[in-house]
Structures are given as C-alpha cells and as structure tokens.
Structure 1
Amino acid sequence: MSAQPVTESVLRFVSPPPGLAPLTEFSLTSVTPELYSLRAVEADDVRLFLLDPRPFFPEYEPDVPGAVLTEIGTQDPAVLVVVRPSDTGSEPSANLLAPVLVNLETGSAVQTILEGTDQPLRAPLAR
C-alpha cells in the first residue's frame, strides 16, 4: 500500500462508510502529521478521526481484495484507520479491521471490512 502522505482534500466514497449512509462526500483535514479530521460535506456535525497507521502499527499491511481496489481506481491506495478517542478510563484505539483506502490522485475512497483476518476492531494506541 502507498507510503505517500495524504494531503488535505475532498474524498468521495464509492459507498457510504458504515453507519454514515447516505453521506459519501467528506473533507479531509490534517490535524497532525499522522492524524486527520474527516468531516461530512453535507452534514458538518458528522466527523471522524483517521490515522496513518504506519507509525503506530508498522507491521500493519491489510490484505485488500482486488475488487475493492478496482472500485477506487488504484492498486496502491493510501491506508488510513478510524480512531476512537479515549474516554473516561479507556485508551484511544484504532480500527484495524476496517481501513479507509484512498486513491490520492482522484480522491475516491472506500472503507472496507477485511475478511478472514484477526485484525482488531480496537487496537490500543501507544502513548
């Protein structure tokens, strides 16, 4: 998967991310070099945080089906993961089971659930 940094842009999901239907267009804004804010264009109050997993999970290399890559038009997407911020008594975590894949040239994106893997839904982020 791509080692290129993600830049701020508008992402158009080929299908709504799980739980966010019917929303498909989002603005992606850098918060830190590894952390991004993903805000729905049509619903400003809908926001997720995405993380570049490489600094935190260097071994993370999701096995994405070719059909999913074809959907967004690249064989070398940028890979981001959804972050669950910490709340009372819990550490922040990353969803390694359902990465967000981005075609950096077109802004086409998809969140896919990896099949046949033991990747965690909530992988703790080291502080």
Structure 2
Amino acid sequence: MSIDLTFAIPPFGLSPAGTFTLTPVDGADGLFTLVGDDARLFLLDAAVHLPSYSPELTDEQAAGLGLTSAEDAMLLVVANPGGSDTTVNLLAPIIVNARTSVGAQVILEGQDLPLRAELARR
C-alpha cells in the first residue's frame, strides 16, 4: 500500500513536488521507493534492516515533524545500490510522522555517523 507524504523541504536529490509517494517494494521486506515528480530514492526501514541504529533528533527537528513520541516516528535511511555493495546514509535519515504523513530528511547534529555505511548482507 502506497502512502502519500508531504515534505516541507524535499529530500536531497529530489526536486520540489507537492507530494511524494512512499511505496513498499514487493518481496523485499523493509525496502521502499520514494518517488517525486521526476526522481526516485530507495529507502530502507531502519527497524527492519538496522535495528541497533538509534539516532537522536534535536527538539527542533522533532517539533518540525510534530513528533511527540518516538513510537510515531518511522525511521528510514537512503540506500545507494552499487555493484556488489549497497551503502546507506546514516547521517541524514528520513523521518516520517506515521500519524500525519509528514516527512523530513534531517541532518543529525553532533553524531559521528557515516554518509556511506556499507550495508551488511543477511
């Protein structure tokens, strides 16, 4: 089931669009596409693929998304498939408020996380 998401500022690499569509990829648990007017990103659900990943948002970032509880946040990371290796961006995750379908790509402050972390195969 696809979900239409609203971003105040489009994710890096996607041009401005009123709405973006988040769609699960059939047969790939926790893998999604995020599609705007003219581009697509692959996103991984961190809860499925990176269970120990637990970044901290600033109060301003959480407030901008209307988050009052961690349970309302869906944590997604941008996946960069390439040849035999896939990397994920852990420094700038996409956070979605599951109650409101509002999303934002945030840059985590003061956290030593890589832009290109190699994704371990399962």
Give deviations 1:35-87, integer Å, cap 9, x for gaps: 000001xx2x3000000123332221011011111111113211000000123
Per-residue deviation at 1:106? 1.1
**Alignment partner of 1:64 is 2:57:** yes
TM-score using structure 1 length: 0.83
Q: Which one-letter code corresponds to 1:63 in the other structure?
A: E
Residue 30 (1) aligns with residue 24 (2): yes
2:87 matched residue in structure 1: 93
* 8 Å Cα contact 1:14/1:71 also seen in 2: no
For 1:34 and 1:24, locate their aligned partners in 2 and report how far apart those are by CA, in whole Å: 25
Cα distance change, pair 16–24 in 1 and its aligned pair in 2 (3 A): farther
TM-score, scaled relative to structure 2 = 0.86
**Alpha-carbon distance in 1 for matches of 2:15, 2:39:** 11
C-alpha contact (below 8 Å) 1:13/1:110 kept by paired residues: yes
Number of equivalenced pairs: 116
Question: Structure 1: where are the runs of 5+ without partners?
Answer: 1-6
Q: Where is the strand percentage greater, Structure 1 or Structure 2?
A: 2
Among 96, 99, 119, the residue aligned to 1:102: 96
> In the alignment, is the contact (CA less than 8 A) between 1:15 and 1:24 conserved in 2?
no
Q: Which residues of structure 2 form unaligned runs of 5+?
A: none
State the SS of the aligned residue for 1:74.
coil
CA distance in structure 1 between the partners assigned to 2:14 and 2:22 by the alignment: 16
The 1:38–1:102 alpha-carbon spacing in structure 2 relative to 1, beyond 3 Å, is same
More helix as a share of residues:
2
SS in structure 2 at match of 1:102: strand
Compute the displacement of 1:24 (Å): 4.9
**1:71-86 aligned within 5 A:** 71-75=64-68, 76=70, 77-86=73-82
Q: What amino acid does structure 2 have at the position aligned with 1:18?
A: F
